[in-house]
Amino acid sequence: MGLLHKDRFICLDCETTGLDTKKDHIIEIAAVRFTFESILETKESLIDPGVTISEESIAIHNITQDMVQGKPKINALLPEFLEFVGNDIIVGHGIGFDISIINETAQRLSIPTTIAKNPFIDTLRLARLYGESSINSLEHLRKHFNIEYHGAHRAMNDVLVNIKVFKHLSHNFKTTSDLLKRLQKPILLRHMPLGKHKGRSFRDIPVEYLRWAIKQDFDQDLMYSLKTELKTRKKGNSFVSSTNPFSNL
């Protein structure tokens, strides 16, 4: 790994029948090998999952049963796709899910893979670090950076947008190593990203909710932000108590 604008990356995206990486199926997959200067190679395919695609899933990605009829099965396509990815650095939005479902699918089919060991860059976390977009979904980032619309939620469309978003979000880094090193550390969020207090500043969220949330299985950035806010309030309360002459009465 060297200078960021000289290194080679793979941006990938999967469309699936659902969000359970152990049980759901990949129905479309797309990947683009690129540098900051050019697109090098592309690979994409619809996939016949061999199961019925739910209406809920169709509403998200607009991939119907008819569209996957007669398309390759994942067991025939995945070895070639994994070879295409190779050992390159993987880029994607919420990319942990894509890597996980590809890895789980490969293991289920006894297809050798080391994709879970590839270094990866999650542009969702980069967007949190950037902090200038009120919402960090790929579509909102596309609008924020005035990126041309390719059509949302189809795998290749999302990949092409994601590459451009990645270039915007990483401009403060000179080397790929520096970027990866920074993403090893948690990122302090400005606003609650989910739940009934979504969009609110952490300082405006009731302490009872923060105490409940800290016990949940959230990602490292959210857990770090919750702990930081609770620690700040505890210090604040300690300061008020220490300066209150009636606190011990």
pLDDT, tens digit, 9 for 90 and up, residues 83-107: 999 999 999 999 999 999 999 999 9
Amino acid at 159: V
Give the pLDDT of residue 154: 82
Arithmetic mean of pLDDT, 59-77? 94
Give residue 248's pLDDT band: very low, low, confident or very high (50, 70, 90).
very low
* d(C-alpha 97, C-alpha 18), whole Å: 11
Arithmetic mean of pLDDT, 130-141? 91
241, pLDDT greater than 70: no
DSSP letter (8 states) at residue 175: B
Helix axes 95-108, 74-85, angle to 10 degrees: 130
Give residue 243's pLDDT band: very low, low, confident or very high (50, 70, 90).
low
Active-site residue flag, 153: yes
Arithmetic mean of pLDDT, 185-200? 92
Identified catalytic residue from 5, 144, 150, 153: 153
**What SS3 class is residue 10?**
strand
